[in-house]
Structure formats: structure tokens, C-alpha cells
Structure 1
Amino acid sequence: MRILIVDDERPAREKLRRMLAAEPDISAIEEARDGVEALERLPAFAPDLLLLDIQMPEVSGLDVAASLPTPAPCVVFVTAYDEYALRAFDANAIDYLLKPYDQPRLQRALQRVRERLVQQRLAATVAGTDAQAAAATAQQTAATRPPLPAVTQLLVPERSGTRIVKVEQILWIETADNYVILHTAEGEPLMRQTLAGLLEKLGPRFVRCHRRAAVRLDAIASIANLDKGDGEIMLHDGSRAPLSRQYRAELQARLNCG
């Protein structure tokens, strides 16, 4: 198991590292001093688990959890404040450690993470060997549990700090190499993320309108027809997004449902 400890207090990070040293199945541990550093370390380190403090300067642990890439690592919140428990589990956390915790309590949380990781690996194995069985299992699981909540904001690292972009501010999205451009009325920040992965996080408010673009449904003012079945989407702020014939039927169906 690979673990990233995220806490702005060095003694708290050191305590967790000492306690984790007693666990035989942990192969790597790294530390981040705040939420921004945690998000920067994620791609290269690829942790299985985030042990994540909630109250941190600039970017909170809840903000980090809302900005994780897809597929996301497991999250266990570690905090001195019990008033965040409900929001933590809304963020799909596996457990919530309240400081001061002891070794047995940490071990119980780690055991829950191990069970989740086993489930994920079994699902991946089934998907590779029997796609139809995997699809049936996924449908049964989806029928018995509520969908994961869509994120409400995105954290975009920039040279001067971190920009917090509310999802309701995003008008449309387009790809740019390994990044996506978030078109908002306040600017066009770049985010290192695939379009497909970001749409999965954003939920049903957004729909793909082009191979390289997606649009927020309630930002659409009208659709103009172009040649060969393509179109152009006019947004309420006056900006425009491309519409290819490949995605036109789905977009119109989603508009009709709304």
C-alpha cells in the first residue's frame, strides 16, 4: 500500500509515519505539508490512500477530496474537529480519525482501506477477463447504493497559488493536449486532467458536445446550424462552443429532459 500523509503540522505527520511503520504491507510513504502540495504529488506518487487533515491553510482537506482525479485514491480524514464528519463521508471518505487516536483505531481504518482495495482489484480483474459479468455486477451495485456526489468546485494550481473554480462558474470545457481549459466569465484557467475524467466528476450538469469539448447544459442559450450536421452552441454570456454531429443527438435529448 502506498500512502500520502497530508497535514500542515509536522508533529502530526511524524506521528502517523511512526505508527504506519508497524504495518507490514505499506510499501511507500510520502508527506505533503498542505493541500496544494498534495495535489501536486498525486500524479507522480500515485498513492493508494490519502491520510488527509481537514483544516489546513489556503486549501482544506475537503477541497482536496473534491478535486481528486479519476480514479481517485482512498481517503481517510484525520482531524481534531468532529464537526466535519458528515461532510467527510459525503466526500466518500472511507473513515474519519479523530485526534488523538491510537494504534488500534488507525489499524481499523487501514483494514477498511485494505478491504476496499481488494474489492477494486477484484473488479478490475473481472473487467479484464469477463466484461459482461463485470457490467452485471456494476449494475447491481449501482442499484443498491446512491451515486457519488458531483464536485462543487475545482482546485487549479497556478504559479501564484491555487485558484478555486466553482463548477457553477464553468460555461464550457475544451481539451488542450494533456490539459483542459475551463471557460468561465472570470478567465480560462488550465487544469491537468482528461476531459472524460473531469466530466465523470462534474456530473450530469455537463454534456459532451464535441470530441474535444463539453458544455454546461443550463448555460446554453441557443444552437446554430452549420454544414453537414455540425452546429455551434451560443451561451448566455455571448461565448460560443463547438457542436459536432456525433454528439448533437445526445445534447438535444439532454436539453429536452431538462
Structure 2
Amino acid sequence: MRALIVDDEAPARDKLRRMLAAFDDVEVVGEADGGAAAMELAAQLQPDVIFLDVQMPEVDGFAVAASLPDDGPELVFVTAFDRYALQAFDAQAADYLLKPVEPARLQRAIRRLRMVPRVQAARPQAATPTTQLLVVDRGATHVVRSADIQWLQSADNYVNLKLAGRTFLLRRTLESLLKDLGPGFVRTHRGAAVALAAVRAVRPRGNGDAVVVLQDGTEVPCSRQHRPALLERLQAPAG
């Protein structure tokens, strides 16, 4: 169940993300701090469910809901106010949670979502690595081939896509992006990952850490925690 969290308050997003981490079948694929960003991410990430705040500057939660297609993601409104409940269900919301969200109440919401046909249909599908990404930069939409990405660098809820001579900024978490890119990429550090095809060498450093040297000479940090998995993946046969 791919989830998008939308709330203009970072502590609220952090708390809900931690609570959703308790469910093995829920993956938070992105976060948005406002309605405009939520609409962009909903189109880009195609989540199964959006956990959506109501009161947000400029574009509120109901405007986001109205912008979604009829076959779009399920909606769970998460707000501190109970007065929007009727309006939320008029917007075809799957559930309505009051802040502070109680674990038992969230569990009931997840249980209800699991019964939704859209979510049930999505669960058994095998993940196929994406071959390209769409990145909006200065009003233009760029098609970035996965094969052209040399390495990835996380920056909060964004990821820098490092290509030869160019960098694109994508609103995603590194963890969720790696799942979409598939086995051709491997994490080397809490905030970095490399394309296996771009690796030229792995040079050891002190305390078990290392530096990954790419084909163009770029050096990417590799922590001792991730070094064994990187070496194992580099030794694995292609395909």
C-alpha cells in the first residue's frame, strides 16, 4: 500500500510516518508540505492512499481531493478538527482521523483500506524497475532515463539525481526511489546510493568505511554498514 503524507507541519508528518512504519504492508513513498506539492506528487507517484490534512495555506485538503481523478488514490483526512467530517465523506474519503492520531484508530483505518479493491489489486503485483523518471525543472518536464543516473544524493524529502554533467532535484525519499529503480542501484550511505554500472572502484578508508569511485572520477561515500552489501552486489552476476 503506497502512501503519500500531506501536512504543512513537519512534526505531524514525522509522527504519522513513524506510526505507519509499524505496518509491514504500508510504504510511505512521499511527503508534501502543502496542497500544490501534494497534487504534483499524487500525479507523479500514483499512491494508493493519501493521508491528507485539511487546513493548509493556499491550497487546502479539499482542493487537493477535488483535483484527483475518479479512479485516483483513496483519501484519509487527518485533522485536528471534527467539523470537516461530513465534507470529507462527501469527498468520498475512506476515513477521517482526528489529531492526535491514536495507534488503535490508525490500525482500524489501515484495516479498512486493505478491503478497498484498488489496494487489494495493487498488493500482489510484482515490482518492475522503472526505466525513466519525470522531473519538473523550471516549468519544463524532463524525461530522465534510469540508465543515465550515476548516483543519488538525498536531501530531506528530495533526491538529487546525479547524471553526467547535470543534476536534477526530485521530490522523493531516497528509500522509496531505490525501490522503484530496482537492483541496478545500491545504497552506500544513509544519504547516498550508486548505479552499479557506474562503479569503477571501491577504496577502503579507516574504520571500515570506503569511497566508491565512479567511472567519471566522482567519489561517493560508503559507510561500513553498507560496504558489505555493495561488494556483494558488485560480485553478483549480471541479470
TM-score by length of 2: 0.52
In the alignment, is the contact (CA less than 8 A) between 2:132 and 2:144 conserved in 1?
Answer: yes
Q: CA deviation at 1:199?
A: 0.6
Distance verdict in 2 for CA 1:198–1:181, change over 3 Å: same
In the other structure, the counterpart of 2:152 is 173
1:44 corresponds, among 28, 31, 38, to 38
- Aligned partner of 1:73 among 43, 48, 51: 48
- Out of 183, 196, 203, the position equivalent to 1:204 is 183
Deviations 1:215-249 (A, max 9, x none): 11111111011111111001112212110101011
Residues 128 and 174 of structure 1: CA distance in aligned 2, closer, same or farther (over 3 Å): same
Write out aligned runs for 1:151-190 (5 A): 151-190=130-169
Residue equivalent to 1:103 = none
Supply the distance in 1 between the matched residues of 2:39 and 2:144 (Cα, whole angstroms): 25
2:60 alignment partner in structure 1 = none
**Mapped pair 1:213 → 2:192:** yes
Conserved? CA contact 2:209–2:224, under 8 Å: yes
| 3-state DSSP of counterpart to 1:222 | strand
CA distance in 2, matches of 1:73, 1:128: 12
| 4+ long deviations beyond 2 Å | 40-47, 124-129
Aligned-residue RMSD, C-alpha: 4.0
Structure 1, unmatched stretches of 5+, are 1-39, 51-63, 75-105, 119-123, 135-140
Give the helix-richer structure, 1 or 2: 1
Determine the C-alpha separation between the residues in 2 that align with 1:191 and 1:238. Answer: 24
**1:164-189 CA distance string (max 9 Å, x none):** 11000000001123211111004011
Equivalents in 2 of 1:229, 1:126: separation in Å? 45
Q: State the TM-score, normalizing by the size of structure 1.
A: 0.48
